[in-house]
Structure 1
Amino acid sequence: MNLGALSHLPSGKTAAETTASSTAPQTVSPSIPAAAQRGASCRKHHDAWLGAYVRTLVVLDALVVTAAMLIAYVLRFEDATWSPPTVAGSFSPSYLAVSVVLATAWFAALELGRTRDHRELGSGPTEYARVFRVSWQLFALVAIIAFVLRLDMARGYLAIAFPVGVVMLLGARHLARRRLVARRRAGSCMTTVLVVGEPPKAADLIEQLGSNPASGHHVRGVCVTSSAPMVDEVAGVPVLGGISDVVAAAEQIGADKVAVTGSEVLTSKAVRQLSWDLEGSGVELALAPGLAEVASPRVQTSLVNGTALVHVDEPQFSGSKYFIKSVTDWVAALVLTVALAPALVGIAALVKMTSPGPVFYKQERIGRNGVPFLMWKFRSMSVGAHEMRHELSHLDEGQGALFKVKDDPRVTPVGRVIRRYSLDELPQLFNVLRGEMSLVGPRPNLPDEVSTYERHVHRRLYVKPGLTGLWQVSGRSELSWEESVRLDLYYAENWTPFGDFLVLLRTIKVIISPTGAY
């Protein structure tokens, strides 16, 4: 279960009594007034930093969209006289007026599109995706309006405003997020959470919420169901009571959010009553349906006779989306190959001059649907390195099917440098041009590594292997085999074009500041 799978309900509190009658394994502290004061103070602090952060985003968005429209206006109409240029057509507003209207509409769209929703702040990809989606939808609407009103708007004007604005918006959000994440890693700007449910499921949720401090969730208490055995704590978090004590426990610890996991006792009627009890308190209610490794694009919610059903779409591994991905990969690889040609030639010369042997190293790897292919790399090891692998098996630091030696004696001096900055991988652009690889995807493994795969790991072969991927930008060789597999399977089942774009951006950062590469 991850936080992205939480389905939020309206928050608040009334005097209604909870319908769930249970005997708490451990009741909350009797000194509720003092505890409640501390809890209220914590919630007030949370609201203060959250409000300040949202206001910062409001100011940044306003400055960015204004700057984007100004840049587009100046660059497109740099030769304009004191008479402002106007849009051609039956209705001919000035481009200055259009810029003001479009900037205002863009700013409003960012608000209406919930890009500053506090539940997504600091989430990274989800927040960025919302900003991108709202922006392109706005410009698509502008194009439709221009067509309907027969306005012949300058294409260069929009072609400048959209990419410049999006890049600046994402850049501003990234800088704001980095600051927020730094503060969260230091223990501030956190959302206090009370988890409700059976101990095993509550423990899983606590582990997930605490696995990434950047998400900003700090679980300070647990309320367990009456069917659970008597326990004092769950996953190191104190148990504050049972179902009937949720509201009091939330008040005691100053919870900003109550996260409910699945339980036989927590019926729909009990959850509805809990939402009523929290009404007006400022405490959010979130339901954790237990959907592990499922991204939000595959999750749809519908109402059937007043009951919310969460639908999970089946993963797709073919179709128009993958065709577009292949075309985009080929075009991008061609552009990158031409742009990086001087660097490719320079690295090839260094490899040739500093160690005997060929410039390129071709090795059989397993591609999509288990089809083998020859993967290209700049040679970073001495000739015959693969045959020496068995001699170094006692030095293997890899896990699972991966073979890794940190201070590998087979690596040449130049090889250590190009491996550290992943420059040895650049010839795989040729594999992308041949249709054997993608720019982003799971890394291709050796045949003998694939032969050791467990059944579920074979799912990573449903998509083309990539030149870079999620695990490369999430720790590289420092990750365990299990974590690498988890990231690869998550990518294979949940990838999106915008997600690929973010992985490529993170790859640039990893190359510039390499960690975990050897």
Structure 2
Amino acid sequence: MNGRLSRSVIDWEQQYRRTVIISDTVATAFVVAAIGGFFGVRNASNWHEKWGILAFGTELLVLGALATTRAWAPAVLGEGAEEFRRLGRSLFTAAVVLALGGIALTSHNIKLWVFVAIPAITLVTMTERYLLRLWLHKQRNYGRCLRPVLAAGSPATVRDLIARTRKFPHLGWRVEAVCTPYALGPGGDRLDGVPVVGRLTDVANHVRRDGYRVVAVTPDPYWTPDRLQRLAWNLEGGDAEMVVAPVLMEVAGPRLHVDAVLGMPMLRVSMPAFTGGPRAVKAVVDRLGAAILLVLFAPLMLLVGLLVLVDSRGGVFYRQHRVGKDGRQFTLVKFRTMVPGADRARAELADRNEGAGLLFKLRRDPRVTRVGGVLRRYSLDELPQLLNVLTGSMSLVGPRPPLPEESAAYGPDIRRRLLVKPGLTGLWQISGRSDLPWEEAVRLDLRYVEDWSLALDAVILWKTLRAVLQGQGAY
């Protein structure tokens, strides 16, 4: 690692940012030109005077909003839901400003640009951003386009960081070196395969000398406020970004805020939002989305129902009691994928259980029918759960709905999963499903409960399609 390597890292970051900016500009221009051209032909007499001005003004307004809300900031490009949250905020801001401008100028054509152009730009730019992100994540899975990280903290917390970066390379970090409270020896000592290059007192010197892109400070008693401040000062003027891991490791996203209290910076953790405007929007989206999906999938559901009837003896649907929000039980509906009497035969298979924690799962479950195996692989058996979403007992996105016997064994911490409605899909669905260890599945559900946002829901729904097509962890 040296300064030249750090320079190459910065180069690919800047190149990727330029690519995003150009793609956003081209996508916006394409939508504006297409809409302006289509409707302008019908109004050819005033095209240059009105339509041309509105089209050009709309594009400038959208690009200006993207720049103002820092939707092109390198720190968010390709990283989590924040990129799409900022993109959505930018386009919403552009729509509001455009509408207010239309009212002020008494323009009769402004509705077209507010209610047609901006939504179309939103759809195209989000699709374009997602495709660019797929390319970036593919490069990172091959070990390219990664930010070299110097981790500094206690061995236990650094090991946790190393494990997470290796498990999720698409996040873009690779721990290249470690500083701990004590250096184990010159050059040769390692922590989970990563060289220990020095003590915590040496962090700034190593960053300046070797050119690491990120300094990840993990918890350790050494890190007092004064020492963190001095480290931040010593890193000024360089290319390194300092990242401090809070003690509340699983709280992130919109709930964390840095405020100045009595002249001191404080990390403020807001309470999880279980009511209010965003939750009302989520409820509307759930029921409207379920109704639309039921109409779209009606022919497929009819075909699946016929295949279930033809394949084996029994009914089309399987009904099961599950536990929902606030511990209330409801009846979950699925397509039947097992032979009749499968529940009674479960006790005989208990010694073959391959599920983690409280879950009962078998990769080759003898109770599953031939059609049922296909339905499970591609999650087609879960389509009737859209009825549960439509009636309000479930959500499109949320934690996995547990069985009553599972929830009865929950401790106080795991019971937080029941603070929100269970979901047809969720973080567990896009992260491996049944292949996940029990602790990881619980952690993902709790993370969703703690850090929920509309943007996170949108990302999960988008990724669910790929997870379903791949069939990973579905059995």
Q: TM-score, normalised by structure 1?
A: 0.86
Conservation of the 8 A alpha-carbon contact between 2:154 and 2:218? yes
Which letter does structure 2 place at the counterpart of 1:357? G
Deviation at residue 111 of structure 1 after TM alignment: 2.3
Find the partner of 1:216 among 147, 172, 191: 172
| 1:270 maps to 2:227 | yes
Which letter does structure 2 place at the counterpart of 1:309? M
| Structure 2: gaps of 5 or more residues | none
Aligned length: 472
Find the partner of 1:390 among 318, 341, 347: 347
Which letter does structure 1 place at the counterpart of 2:9? H
Whole-Å separation in 2 of the counterparts to 1:63 and 1:508 = 27
Find the partner of 1:379 among 336, 345, 355: 336
The aligned counterpart of 2:246 is 289
Structure with a larger share of its residues in helix: 2
The aligned counterpart of 1:104 is 60
Instruction: Name whichever of 136-145 and 507-516 sits farther off.
Output: 507-516
Deviation at residue 230 of structure 1 after TM alignment: 5.2
Q: How does 1:411-430 map to 2 (within 5 A)?
A: 411-430=368-387
Whole-Å separation in 2 of the counterparts to 1:321 and 1:109 = 22
Whole-Å separation in 1 of the counterparts to 2:402 and 2:90 = 38
Find the partner of 2:8 among 35, 45, 48: 45
Whole-Å separation in 2 of the counterparts to 1:85 and 1:140 = 24
The aligned counterpart of 2:470 is 513
Whole-Å separation in 2 of the counterparts to 1:167 and 1:374 = 36
Distance 1:404-1:79 versus aligned 2 partners, 3 A rule: same
Whole-Å separation in 1 of the counterparts to 2:360 and 2:462 = 27
Deviation at residue 159 of structure 1 after TM alignment: 1.9
Question: Identity rate of aligned residues, in percent?
Answer: 37
Conservation of the 8 A alpha-carbon contact between 2:99 and 2:111? no
The aligned counterpart of 1:64 is 27
Structure (1 or 2) with the larger CA radius of gyration: 1
Which letter does structure 1 place at the counterpart of 2:20? L
| 1:437 maps to 2:400 | no
Whole-Å separation in 2 of the counterparts to 1:58 and 1:154 = 26
The aligned counterpart of 1:238 is 195
Find the partner of 1:452 among 409, 421, 427: 409
| Structure 1: gaps of 5 or more residues | 1-37, 87-93
Whole-Å separation in 1 of the counterparts to 2:200 and 2:357 = 42
The aligned counterpart of 1:159 is 115
Deviation at residue 305 of structure 1 after TM alignment: 4.6
Deviation at residue 213 of structure 1 after TM alignment: 0.7
Deviation digits for residues 28-49 of structure 1 (CA, Å, limit 9, x no counterpart): xxxxxxxxxx511111211221
Deviation at residue 406 of structure 1 after TM alignment: 0.8
Conservation of the 8 A alpha-carbon contact between 1:190 and 1:217? yes
| 1:315 maps to 2:272 | yes
**Secondary structure, aligned partner of 1:302:** strand
Deviation digits for residues 209-264 of structure 1 (CA, Å, limit 9, x no counterpart): 44311111111222234xx5857444433222234422321134321122223444
Higher RCO structure (Cα 8 Å, ≥6 apart):
1
Conservation of the 8 A alpha-carbon contact between 1:262 and 1:289? yes
Distance 1:164-1:250 versus aligned 2 partners, 3 A rule: same
Whole-Å separation in 1 of the counterparts to 2:298 and 2:221 = 62
**Secondary structure, aligned partner of 1:84:** helix
| 1:143 maps to 2:99 | yes
Deviation at residue 179 of structure 1 after TM alignment: 1.4
Whole-Å separation in 2 of the counterparts to 1:238 and 1:488 = 34
Whole-Å separation in 1 of the counterparts to 2:76 and 2:166 = 16
Conservation of the 8 A alpha-carbon contact between 1:71 and 1:161? no
| 1:193 maps to 2:156 | no
**Secondary structure, aligned partner of 2:371:** helix
Conservation of the 8 A alpha-carbon contact between 2:324 and 2:394? yes
Which letter does structure 2 place at the counterpart of 1:517? A
Deviation digits for residues 266-324 of structure 1 (CA, Å, limit 9, x no counterpart): 33333332223222222222222233121321011112354211100111323443333
Conservation of the 8 A alpha-carbon contact between 1:124 and 1:177? no
The aligned counterpart of 1:259 is 216
Which letter does structure 2 place at the counterpart of 1:71? A
Conservation of the 8 A alpha-carbon contact between 2:184 and 2:196? no
Whole-Å separation in 2 of the counterparts to 1:407 and 1:224 = 46
Conservation of the 8 A alpha-carbon contact between 1:261 and 1:288? yes
Q: How does 1:333-344 map to 2 (within 5 A)?
A: 333-344=290-301
Deviation at residue 78 of structure 1 after TM alignment: 4.1
Whole-Å separation in 1 of the counterparts to 2:240 and 2:423 = 43
The aligned counterpart of 1:326 is 283
Whole-Å separation in 1 of the counterparts to 2:234 and 2:278 = 45
Distance 1:416-1:249 versus aligned 2 partners, 3 A rule: same
**Secondary structure, aligned partner of 2:359:** coil
Whole-Å separation in 2 of the counterparts to 1:484 and 1:346 = 32
Conservation of the 8 A alpha-carbon contact between 2:150 and 2:175? yes
